[in-house]
């Protein structure tokens, strides 16, 4: 059984640029959630995808957007990057009927 | 009402001690309460979780105690080891939706 994987591991961007982060869900899981974790803080929910549709969104602006593909993998896109977007971005997969969310290793984004 | 408050922020115990981490919530609609362990540079790993119809759950050296009337729950780590040194997060959710995380507790277990 393959766990949740994310790419890239690290990324450095400058303010105003756009970034795409990728996530492959755990085998058999059809729901993907994205979280932002600032240094020294708990993860904050960005949004969740199920059946390629957004299924709940946290308090993040529209420049944070996502996609889910037929194989349940997902992308997080962030436009017009700001310095405060620097964080660890975590992807978690789960079954639509299940409560347990399993996290990937994250992508460390640094915005200069 | 969506917050989960976690304490203490940091904790130092000797090997073999029993660190206790506490969390409190407001939203009575929450029905799932997991604990996660996170090592530096890694994603959070699910340790143990509880539903509000159970007052205690044990898995190995980890125990969750749940007090529904007080809207509080806690994690106890029995016979703690230096390898348990990590940041621990409590969380809560309603249904299969988003997890609301506490602020985290940095645990250090001294040899």
B64-74, pLDDT tens digit by residue?
999 999 999 99
CA angle B2, B41, A27 (to 5 degrees): 75
Of A42, A58, A100, which is closest to B89 when you measure between CB atoms? Answer: A42
pLDDT at residue number A97 = 77
Q: What is the pLDDT of residues B50-101, one digit of tens each?
A: 999 999 999 999 999 999 999 999 999 999 999 999 999 999 999 878 999 9
Cβ separation A31–B96 shorter than 8 A: yes
- What is the three-state SS of A13-80? ECCCCCEEEEEECCCCCCEEEEEEECCCCCCEEEEEEECCEEEEECCCCCCEEEEECCCCCEEEEECC
Q: Residues of A with CB below 8 A from B101's CB?
A: 42-44
Tell me the three state secondary structure of residue B84: helix
Contact B9/A at CB under 8 A = no
SS percent in chain B: helix, strand, coil, step 5: 5, 55, 45
Of B6, B32, B103, which is closest to A99 when you measure between CB atoms? Answer: B32
Percentage, residues of chain A above pLDDT 70: 99
Give the residue from A13, A49, A12, A19 showing the smallest Cα distance to A33. Answer: A49
Cβ separation A45–B96 shorter than 8 A: no
Q: Residues of A with CB below 8 A from B100's CB?
A: 45
pLDDT at residue number B21 = 98
């Amino acid at each position: 059984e393959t766990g949740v994987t994310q790419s890239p591991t690290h990324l450095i961007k400058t303010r105003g640029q756009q970034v795409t982060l990728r996530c492959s869900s755990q085998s058999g899981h059809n729901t993907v959630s994205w979280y932002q974790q600032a240094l020294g803080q708990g993860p904050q929910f960005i949004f969740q995808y199920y059946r390629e549709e957004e299924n709940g969104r946290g308090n993040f602006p529209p420049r944070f957007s996502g996609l889910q593909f037929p194989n349940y993998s997902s992308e997080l896109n962030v436009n017009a990057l700001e310095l405060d977007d620097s964080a660890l971005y975590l992807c978690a997969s789960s079954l639509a009927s299940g409560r347990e969310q399993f996290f990937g290793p994250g992508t460390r984004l640094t915005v200069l | 009402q969506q917050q989960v408050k976690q304490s203490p922020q940091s904790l130092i115990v000797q090997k073999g001690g029993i660190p206790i981490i506490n969390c409190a919530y407001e939203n009575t609609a929450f029905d799932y309460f997991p604990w996660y362990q996170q090592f530096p540079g890694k994603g959070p790993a699910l340790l143990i979780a509880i539903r509000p119809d159970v007052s205690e759950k044990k898995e190995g050296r980890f125990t969750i105690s749940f007090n529904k009337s007080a809207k509080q729950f806690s994690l106890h780590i029995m016979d703690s080891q230096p390898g348990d040194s990590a940041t621990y997060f409590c969380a809560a959710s309603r249904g299969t939706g988003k997890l609301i995380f506490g602020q985290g507790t940095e645990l250090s277990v001294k040899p």
